[in-house]
Amino acid sequence: AGHMKARRPQRERKEQQLEQSEEQEKANDEVQEEEKEAEGESKWLKKKKEGLSAGESEKEKRQEKKKETKEIEEALVKEVEKEIEREVEKEFEKEVIEEKNIEAGRLEGCLTHEVEQQRKRSKWIK
């Protein structure tokens, strides 16, 4: 029976070693797979940097131009809107000033009338 006990740990050790080496192989395979993917990506990036096929780069240029044009248009629209806002404010200020002047004129007219009435009354009193 003592003989069997000695073998069992040895067998277990071998199984453990096998499992470890299998796990190590799996890990190595995964690393290699990741390296291949990374290499593929770097090749793709290199191609992209060297310049894509003429059609794709033209398409990108057109899209870039469209984007720039759109940004310029938006900036112009904002500028025009600001200008319109300024003009509207100026017009509004003019109207406010005009209304104040009209109101001042009315008040002045009323006061003048009131003063004249007072003079007439004071003449009657005297």
pLDDT in tens, 68-88: 999 999 999 999 999 999 999
Question: Using an 8 Å Cβ cutoff, are 19 and 25 in contact?
Answer: no
Buried b (16+ CB within 10 A) or exposed e, 46-60: eeeeeeeeeeeeeee
Which tokens is 65 given?
Answer: 């131009």
CB 66 within 8 A of CB 58: no
What would the two tokens of residue 105 be?
A: 């004129």
| 24-51 pLDDT tens trace | 888 888 878 877 777 766 776 776 666 6
Residue 3 is predicted with a pLDDT of 56
Q: Which residue has the tokens 């002045």?
A: 108
More confident residue, 95 or 35: 95
* pTM of the full structure: 0.38
Asked if pLDDT for residue 60 goes beyond 90, the answer is no
